[in-house]
Amino acid sequence: MSCSPSNPNCNCKKVPCGCESSISVAPPCSVGTAACPNPEPCAETWSDCCVIHNGDSFAYVTPGEPSVPGFVVYQGERFCDTLQRFMSYYECGSSSLVPTPYGLKSNVITSTTINISWTALSNVSSYKVYIAPLSTLTFTLLGNVTANTTPNITATGLIPNRSYYIYVVAVDGSDNTSCPSVSLILTTKSA
């Protein structure tokens, strides 16, 4: 098989991977699945949600301010979740009383609907989900979701082949809100 950029089944790096046995992936991610479609099991081709941190948990602690919580990377955490939590921490720090939602992912996308889910949080009573067309960035409340084990929501009545931003805010029992989550940028399918 010749290697060319037009052949999606061929990894065209100039240097062999050499990483097949040194990377841990979170189940059910495996080569040839939707999460890891490239047939070569290389770190560069795996989804960031397949890669897990299997070293010790670690945190940044501000010297002289041990009461100020820093950003923590947890053992066993998926890299895509670490990235989402870091983006929220970078923007908001640890000042919010309510944890910021993370683990946002798209589940089903059609020409007129988008379904997303995220990681359930402790001490949260509900979530507010916002959506905006990429063309206008005018956010509107998509809906309120009661906290449960697998929080998710479906946006309906969308325009085919249109991109949308979607983000989530957590709300606790006293109506305190979290910082906004990262925004997913998702595109509906053609009609």
Q: What's the CATH number where 181 sits?
A: 2.60.40.10
Is 49 within the bounds of a domain?
A: no
Give the total number of structural domains in the chain: 1
Asked whether residue 132 is domain-assigned, the answer is yes
Handedness of CA 12, 15, 21, 22 (dihedral sign): negative
In DSSP terms, 51 is beta-bridged to: 25
Interval 115-171: pLDDT, tens: 999 999 999 999 999 999 999 999 999 999 999 778 999 999 999 999 999 999 999
Contact 137, 113 (CB under 8 A): no
Residue 114 lies in a domain: yes
Q: Please give the pLDDT value at position 71.
A: 81
pTM score above 0.75: no
Inside any domain, residue 15: no
* b (16+ CB within 10 A) / e for 4-33: eeeeeeebeeeeeeeeeeeeebbeebebee
Length of the chain: 191
Is 56 a member of any domain? no
pLDDT for position 139: 96
User: Quick check: 37 pLDDT over 70?
Assistant: no
Query: Over the chain, what is the mean pLDDT?
Result: 79
pLDDT in tens, 17-33: 333 344 455 555 555 55
Amino acid residing at 136: T
Residue 18, in any domain of the structure? no
Q: Please say whether the dihedral angle defined by the alpha carbons of residues 184, 185, 189 and 191, taken in this order, is positive or negative.
A: positive
Boundaries of domain holding 129 = 105-187
Asked whether residue 182 is assigned to any structural domain, the reply reads yes
